[in-house]
Each structure stands twice: as structure tokens, then as C-alpha cells.
Structure 1
Amino acid sequence: MCKTRISRSEDGAAAVEFALVLPVLLLLILGLIEFSLVFNSQISLTNAAREGARVMAIQNDPAVARAATINAAPSVNPAVTAGEITIVPADCRAGDTVTVTIDYTADLLTGFFGDELGLRGQGVMLCGG
């Protein structure tokens, strides 16, 4: 059986290569985690805005539509507030369209890509049910 022996000059080469690659690998993994969390928040905001627009189109009550919007995004942390929700127009007449917009500031986990990121979820429905 033939054994290959690494010469003394190459003993630490694997450790040096690992030390050079490790920061890039960690940055990629943390970026993937950060992107996944932000993408999940974006989908939740868009679905919540769509739900708020649906409730406004059916019930024509901005307070109920805001409550439905907030309740439709339970996984968003910190929670959506009524001040982040815009409903246009405030009176939904049959044949018009109502737009519910959520302007949300997401806190980023790692801080490598900034502290916050502005997200917007929007839903549009035809009034009158």
C-alpha cells in the first residue's frame, strides 16, 4: 500500500485556506437568513394589505379594515400598527377601487446590511363586493 505524505511546507495550508474562506461563507449564510426573513415579512404585508382591501370593499368601514389588516399579519415582528396603514379612498362606493397600503420598517437581524429596511405591501379591490 502506498502512502502519500504531505511535505512539511504544506502542513498549515488547509487551515489558512479555511481561514480565508470562512468570512465569505458566513456572510453568504447570514445574507441568506436575512433575505429569507425580509421576504417572509414582505409576503405577510402584501397578504395583510389584500385582506384589508377585501374587508374595506365589502364592509366600507376603515376601522374594521385596519383591524383586519393588522390581524392578517401576526407573524410580522414588531406588529403592524394602524399608523402604517393607508386606505384610499376612505369611502368605498360601488364600482370604485379601494387601495390599502402598508408602509412598514423591518428591523434587520444581523446589521451587516443596515439596521432597517422599508417594505411596502399593497392590496387593491373593487368596491361593492
Structure 2
Amino acid sequence: MGEEVSVTTMPQYDVILGGGGITGPAAFYALARYSDVRSVALLERRGGLAEVASGHEGNAQSLHDGSIETNFDLAKALAVRDAADLVAGFLDRHPGQGISVPTHKMVIGVGRREVALLRARYAAFVSYYP
């Protein structure tokens, strides 16, 4: 079947993350950027990242509240937040069902222009999305 690997030659990692969807790479980035972890492996069983629920058609199966939808202006973001709050309230009243798992979100700006846009957006949104 596969090639045998002995324990003495097997790569060693401080942390091994499973899944190349939204959460796996986000955790990988957070560990690499903000921790003293020296080696991280990300395992994905498919051919590439974000090929299932995290892909563009799956929409990450996450509850969007307007905070990270960078194509929304403040008015639209707040309307989305109001609707998302209704769903979040329902999920809070039905804990233990396995249908809601709180996790972190991230918006990334690439390059000076996008970073400047995100800084301006943050200034406009921070009092509504603390």
C-alpha cells in the first residue's frame, strides 16, 4: 500500500491541525503569528483547501452578522446583524444540539490599499461591532 515510515524518521510537530476549511488555516495563522509554537502541520484529506463547506458555494456554513462582509456598507451590515441575532438567539436556546459552534472570524487586507480600507471600515464599525 503506502511507504512505511519509522517513528524515528517521522516528522515531529508541536501542533497538528485537521481540516483545510475556514477554521484550520485561521488557527494555523494564529498559532504561527501569535504563539511560541515552532512547528505546525495542517492536514487536509482533499486535494486543496476550502473544497467543501468553506468553498464559495458552501459559504462556510457560518452565521454572517455583517461584521466581516466587506462588500456591505454600515446600513446593510446592521440589517444583516439584526437578522443574524434572531438566528443566534434561537441557537442559544437550543444548546447541545451540535448545530452551533462558536468560532473566530477574520478579515484580511492584502497590500497597503486594502489595509487602509479595513482600517477605515474598522473606525466606522467598531462602535456597532465591539
Instruction: Answer yes or no: same fold by TM over 0.5.
Output: no
The structure with the largest helix share of the pair is: 1
Give TM-score scaled by structure 2 length. Answer: 0.26
Q: Which has the larger radius of gyration?
A: 1
Give TM-score scaled by structure 1 length. Answer: 0.26
